[in-house]
Amino acid sequence: MKIIISPAKQMGEEREFLVPRGRPLYESRAEELAAYLRSLPYPELRRLLACNEALARAAYETYQTMELQRADTPALLAYRGIQYQYMAPQVFEETYFDYVQEHLRILSGLYGILRPLDAVMPYRLEMQAKVRFGPWRDLYHFWGDSLYRALTDDGDRVILNLASREYSRVIEPWLTGADTFVTCTFGELQGEKVIEKGVYVKMARGEMARWMAEHAVERLEDLRQFDRLGFSYCPDRSRPERLVFLMDGKPPRRRR
């Protein structure tokens, strides 16, 4: 089984806690993207990144000096968003790192696809950014089926989707009948509708990834036992391609 998750916008560097175990599979293509972004005037880069002045200026300066081959932070520690806070890799046991390195894949606008312990450096680039250069009309076009192939080239055709729609879109068009692609939904019941709230969804995705590492989960059916943060499996609203987990009525507590 492979588990796909989204990256986070907030990133940092961590050189003391853990040494990377490898380099990104598509680092040369990431270099190509970084070179293009470095060539853009600041106003154009800011429009492309669609962020405020401070974030855009920081991103511009990052790209001007970026040397990807000097990256030395494992991806799982570089991303600092809510999902990664709930995964809490800083307190992983060694076996958890082994599990996620084998099963977990992080989708990325810049790097394409990452193993958790690949060496990366902070960047800002969403998959949905309107990057047009050379023959490429956007990043979905740029990456094409390469990320799907990276997921399935080892013969493992079971994919658990814990990614947002923005990122799962780079995989889904390439699925075949030989693939099993299952998405997890985390929400609360309002009337007859399951409503997903962004912060709680990110919390639950990170918590589930950690729970899977703790329990060395290998089978999709074992996911039905997930019961963290007040979520529990709802068989009545689930389908083979979508596992639904409903909140028990109390909002999950934020990690500090």
The per-residue pLDDT for range 177-217, each reduced to its tens digit, is: 999 999 999 999 988 899 999 999 999 999 999 999 999 99
pLDDT number for residue 192: 86
211 in a structural domain: yes
212 in a structural domain: yes
254 in a structural domain: no
pLDDT number for residue 254: 52
Q: Given pLDDT bands bounded at 50, 70 and 90, which one contains residue 235?
A: very high
169 in a structural domain: yes
Give me the residue label for tokens 């991806």: 75
Token pair belonging to 94: 């060694």
Alpha-helix residue ranges (DSSP H) falling in the chain: 27-39, 42-49, 53-65, 75-78, 82-87, 94-103, 139-143, 146-152, 165-168, 198-215
Residue 256 pLDDT > 70: no
What is the rounded average pLDDT of the residues 88-104?
Answer: 97
CB within 8 Å of 79: residues ≥ 6 apart: 7, 8, 10, 11, 106
Residue 10 pLDDT > 70: yes
Measured on CA atoms in the order 194, 195, 199, 202, is the torsion positive or negative? positive
pLDDT number for residue 91: 94
> Are 56 and 49 spatial neighbours (Cβ–Cβ below 8 Å)?
yes
What is the DSSP annotation of 99-144?
A: HHHHHEEEEETTTEEE-TTBEE------TTS---BTTBSSHHHHHT
Q: Is 210 left (phi over 0), alpha (psi -120 to 50) or beta?
A: alpha
Token pair belonging to 175: 């699925």
255 in a structural domain: no
Q: Given pLDDT bands bounded at 50, 70 and 90, which one contains residue 238?
A: very high
252 in a structural domain: no
Average pLDDT of every residue of the chain: 96
pLDDT number for residue 255: 54
- pLDDT tens per residue, range 132-162: 999 999 999 999 999 999 999 999 999 999 9
**In terms of residue numbers, what domain contains 165?**
2-247
119 in a structural domain: yes
12 in a structural domain: yes
What is the rounded average pLDDT of the residues 46-67?
Answer: 97
- CA 17 vs CA 60, 91, 117, 201: distances in Å: 28, 10, 12, 28
Token pair belonging to 246: 């409903």
Token pair belonging to 56: 């855009």
pLDDT number for residue 253: 62
Name the domain count of the chain.
Answer: 1
Residue 198's closest CA among 36, 9, 43? 9
- pLDDT tens per residue, range 16-46: 789 999 999 999 999 999 999 999 999 999 9
pLDDT number for residue 191: 85
Which contacts qualify for 226-231: CB closer than 8 Å, 24 or more apart? 228/204, 229/200, 229/203, 229/204, 229/253, 231/186, 231/204
> Are 1 and 180 spatial neighbours (Cβ–Cβ below 8 Å)?
no
